């Protein structure tokens, strides 16, 4: 309504009247999140038919079985849950290995330890199997494996030609 321009002026909102309606010239923030709504802001929002209100709960503490927890307990991400789960699995595997109780978490470690024991036996005796041969070969002559790494490095160096620098006199 054109008669309401004084109301807008009182709130420092620039307006003009166009074809019998009030037009707001600039975007003007009326409220920010967390601001208390005064009577003039409420009247303006009602006049513009805007309903910005949202009602909800803000959790500050959680009570569960006699314990109080802060609101940060609810901000757990999937990554945090996965990290905690992995730590728990690691702890279960360690306890299982130490006590000799087999669990799903300890089976891969038990198999790896068994393989290490078999390789140790193969190294100390004449008995051998396919997977132990490479370890035996390494123990006999570690330089073979160093040369392989050096050759790989040389091939990489050959592919990258060194840049020539000009000398200044």
Q: Give the model confidence (pLDDT) of 105-143 as tens digits.
A: 899 999 999 999 999 999 888 888 888 888 888 888 878
Average pLDDT, rounded, for the chain: 79
Surface-to-core class of residue 30, CB atoms within 10 Å of its CB (0-12 exposed, 13-18 middle, 19+ buried): middle
Q: How far is CA 25 from CA 28, 142, 152, in A?
A: 9, 81, 70
Per the model's pLDDT, the better-predicted residue between 168 and 39 turns out to be 39
Chain centroid to Cα 7, Å, comes to 50
Tell me what pLDDT residue 159 has.
Answer: 61
- Residue 66 region, left (φ>0) first, then alpha (ψ -120 to 50), else beta? left
Q: Is the pLDDT assigned to residue 88 strictly greater than 90? A: yes
Q: What is the pTM of this model?
A: 0.41
Tell me what pLDDT residue 22 has.
Answer: 77
Pairing of β 61-64 and β 15-18: unpaired
CA distance 61 to 133: 61
């Amino acid at each position: 309504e054109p008669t309401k321009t004084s109301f807008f002026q009182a709130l420092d909102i620039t307006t003009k009247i166009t074809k019998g309606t009030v037009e707001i010239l600039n975007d003007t923030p009326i409220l920010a999140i967390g601001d208390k709504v005064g009577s003039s802001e409420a009247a303006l929002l009602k006049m513009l038919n805007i309903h910005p209100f949202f009602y909800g709960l803000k959790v500050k503490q959680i009570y569960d079985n006699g314990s109080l927890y802060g609101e940060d307990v609810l901000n757990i991400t999937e990554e945090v849950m996965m990290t905690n789960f992995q730590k728990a699995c690691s702890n279960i595997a360690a306890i299982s290995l130490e006590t000799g109780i087999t669990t799903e978490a300890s089976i891969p470690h038990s198999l790896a330890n068994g393989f290490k024991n078999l390789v140790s036996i193969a190294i100390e005796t004449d008995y051998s199997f396919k997977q132990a041969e490479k370890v035996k070969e390494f123990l006999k002559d570690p330089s073979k494996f160093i040369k392989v790494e050096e050759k790989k490095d040389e091939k990489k160096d050959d592919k990258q030609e060194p840049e020539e620098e000009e000398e200044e006199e």
